[in-house]
Amino acid sequence: MPAEPVVPPMVDAKALDRLREDVGVWDATVTFWFTPDARPVKSRCTLTNRMALDGMFLETSIDGGDFGPEMANNKWSSKSFTGYNTTTRQYEAVRLSSSCSTMIVVRGRPTSDRLELSGEYQLMGMSCAERDVQTGTDDTRTIATYLKFGDAPEFMGVEMVLKRRK
């Protein structure tokens, strides 16, 4: 008789605790580089994190951002959900933005001092690889997003510096 399959637990409380550390309202300064040699475009916005869907996912909403005078002050907003997949033992996130129609999916494992998630997707007709690196302390976070289009070298495309509101 074949062995019964091992079913992983539905919830990993410790993994979810790591997500809960980000719950709250954050003021964000965001710098964009749309190409490796582009001048940076600065934006300020509010990032709100809450646990959603019975506490299984961290829901992130970014509101109030604009691309500044360099980009005709066009507004942008973003929504993402991050969870922990007990089967793969990886964090997984799906991100959506008002600035493009691509659903970005990234995943990865944490280390003691950072959370690094990566993924590949199509953006504006090109293959894109993304690597997000989150570091920080209780009240400050930095999220650096590195992008790689096709065979071109990887470059920093976005840097978010977050400060928790008191």
The answer to whether residue 85 is domain-embedded is yes
Indicate if the pLDDT at residue 121 is higher than 70. Answer: yes
The answer to whether residue 1 is domain-embedded is no
The answer to whether residue 2 is domain-embedded is no
Give the range of the structural domain holding residue 147, as residue numbers without chain letter.
Answer: 13-164
The answer to whether residue 127 is domain-embedded is yes
Pick from 144, 143, 132, 141: nearest CA to 165 = 141
Domain CATH code at residue 64: 2.40.128.20
pLDDT single digits (tens) 48-92 = 999 999 999 999 999 877 776 666 677 888 999 999 999 999 999
Pick from 75, 49, 56: nearest CA to 9 = 56
Instruction: Quote the number of domains for the chain.
Output: 1
Look up the pTM and report it: 0.88
Which of the pair, 72 or 21, is modelled with greater confidence? 21
Pick from 74, 52, 56, 55: nearest CA to 65 = 74
The answer to whether residue 7 is domain-embedded is no
**pLDDT for residue 70:** 64
Which of the pair, 137 or 47, is modelled with greater confidence? 47
